[in-house]
Chain A
Amino acid sequence: MKTDTIKTIAKKHDPKRPLAKNCLMSFIFGGSLCALGQMISLFYLYFFDFSEETVGDPTVATLIILTMFLTGWGVYDKIAQVAGAGTMVPVTGFGNAVISSAIEHRNEGFVLGVGSNMFKLAGSVIVSGVFSSFVIAIIKTLLA
């Protein structure tokens, strides 16, 4: 049988991702997560000595600590199955990628296990972030 026929039959049976539902869920979850972040930063602004510029750091740290607990308790991946991009795009998604790798490789030791595997998922984000900021910096220097 021709590969084309097989491909056509396979395509017919490939279950479609529920796109509308996924979009709605990521909007709701991602939005709520950002609203929670906003509440946390307002909390730090009112009760602690932070300014609009500096309040980002403790807010991100709080969200990542929250992610750490949810990942460790085995809840985060279950939420993510429903929320999709809603829990992957915000900083919690980055936190989860680092923390889940660290947990997974804890048994191989702290140096060769956790140390070398912690950034195996998040590493590409960091590399592309550093690289793109380098390119932008060159463009900015040339234009100035």
Chain B
Amino acid sequence: MKEALQVRVGQVSYQFHTPIIINEYHTIAGPLEKNGALTAYIDTFIDDLYDGEKTYENCYKKLICDGISPLLKKHPDVQLLFTGDLLNQSTPTHLALTNRALTPITFDHACANFGLSLLYGALSIESQQQAAVFAGTMSHFAAVEKQFRFPNEYGQQKPPSSQTTVTGGGFCLLSSNGTGPHITGGTLGAVIDEGFSDPYNMGEAMAPACFHTLLAHFKDFNTTPKDYDYIITGDLGSVGQNILYDLLREENYRVNRNQLIDAGCEIYNKNQPIFSGGSGAGCLSLFLLSKGLKVYFKKPTRALVVATGALHSPLSLLQTPHIPTIAHLIVLESK
């Protein structure tokens, strides 16, 4: 038996030695995203936020079902799905997978779910527990709005720093053979609270978490932003992205402005009413599994993909006005 290679690197990072490849993927998105900037790269669309269902929550469930079904049909022997959605106890995911031979492993890291899902999917393949797993996330604008904010039809003026939850997302198959970009490493984040409390400015709350995870990664792997072509963030929006840029510069990391790509800023067109950008669990998965893989990772690329999440609930925010945040990172390479 060959000697086990060191998987754990530094304090909080992992280096994978088996090839972990994003083989196949399927993306699905809503009506606003259909008129956005990624239309050509997304696989399927729904025309309205109900899509023939009676409730927004059922539509959320259907989105997850429709997102995973094409992959599940091709690979019925896969056992695990690493995921997590934004409603209580991930009910849309669990209802969508009722009576299917697939076990969902749901995380509660809000918009950081996709990063954690990919990382744990990769870890389960690296440790040879699984030959292939599914990973992916989905979000639904109206269902999330109902859970976290006000009723959808409530007339309230949103400030320019607020973000718009993406309707849509994507799922992918991770396996150790096939073609596609490789997940070669990752860094787990810790819960960060810098005292921000404005739920209409998630960018400023999540940027420090992203910054801390990036610092931990650079330290553990002994790298700098120069070693990567892109730093793809999940849903910092334009506000959070500017803050992240300044934080990195402040810490003397030379980052190029073009190096930073934020999924929330890429999904929509400039003229759409989305304020400072998209957000939600499906934001990063929708971007990465559409334009991300089809454009950026078509050529040899080495990038950091950081999913950031805000971990508050409407109740916690009323009791303790703080928004704790977290960010998880993976290293994605294409040759």
Residues of chain A whose beta carbon lies under 8 Å from any beta carbon of chain B: 1, 3, 5-7, 9-10, 12-18, 22, 71-72, 74, 76-77, 79-81, 83-85, 87-88, 93, 96-97, 99-101, 103-105, 107, 121
Q: List 22 contacting pairs A-B, 8 Å CB cutoff, sorted by A.
A: A1-B251, A6-B194, A7-B194, A9-B243, A10-B243, A13-B203, A13-B242, A13-B246, A14-B239, A15-B276, A16-B160, A77-B153, A77-B156, A79-B155, A81-B155, A88-B157, A99-B153, A100-B150, A100-B151, A103-B153, A104-B153, A107-B54
- Residues of A near B207 (CB, < 8 A) are 10
Cβ of B148 < 8 Å from any Cβ of A?
no
Of all chain B residues, which has the CB nearest A25? Answer: B157
CB of A12 within 8 A of CB of B246, answer: yes
CB of A87 within 8 A of CB of B155, answer: yes
Since A1-B250, A10-B196, A100-B151 are in contact, a sample of 16 more A-B pairs with Cβ atoms closer than 8 Å, ordered by chain A residue number, is: A1-B247, A9-B243, A13-B242, A14-B204, A14-B239, A15-B239, A18-B160, A22-B157, A76-B153, A79-B155, A80-B155, A81-B155, A81-B158, A88-B155, A100-B152, A121-B151
Hey, what's the 0/1 contact readout for B99-137 against A, CB within 8 Å counting as 1? Answer: 000000000000000000000000000000000000000
- CB interface residues, B 286-304, toward A, < 8 Å: none
- Residues of B near A87 (CB, < 8 A) are 155
B310 to chain A minimum Cβ distance, whole angstroms, is 14
- Residues of A near B93 (CB, < 8 A) are none
A23 to chain B minimum Cβ distance, whole angstroms, is 12
Point out which of A79, A80, A87 has the most chain B C-beta atoms below 10 A from its C-beta: A80
Tally of B interface residues using CB under 8 Å:
33
CB of B195 within 8 A of CB of A7, answer: yes
- Residues of A near B211 (CB, < 8 A) are 1
Hey, what's the 0/1 contact readout for B234-253 against A, CB within 8 Å counting as 1? Answer: 00000100110011001100
A37 to chain B minimum Cβ distance, whole angstroms, is 17
CB of B152 within 8 A of CB of A15, answer: no
CB of B204 within 8 A of CB of A13, answer: yes
CB of B153 within 8 A of CB of A96, answer: yes
Those 7 A-B pairs whose CB atoms lie nearest each other, nearest first: A80-B155, A104-B151, A100-B153, A100-B151, A10-B204, A84-B157, A15-B160
Cβ of B161 < 8 Å from any Cβ of A?
yes
- CB interface residues, B 202-218, toward A, < 8 Å: 203-204, 207-208, 211
Cβ of B55 < 8 Å from any Cβ of A?
yes
A66 to chain B minimum Cβ distance, whole angstroms, is 13
Cβ of B308 < 8 Å from any Cβ of A?
no
Known: A3-B194, A6-B208, A6-B247. A13 touches B239 (CB 8 A): yes
Of all chain A residues, which has the CB nearest B240? Answer: A13
Hey, what's the 0/1 contact readout for B177-201 against A, CB within 8 Å counting as 1? Answer: 0000000000000000011100001
Hey, what's the 0/1 contact readout for B45-75 against A, CB within 8 Å counting as 1? Answer: 0000000001100000000000000000000
- Residues of B near A97 (CB, < 8 A) are 154
A121 to B204, CA, bound (A): 27
CB of A5 within 8 A of CB of B157, answer: no
Cβ of B254 < 8 Å from any Cβ of A?
no
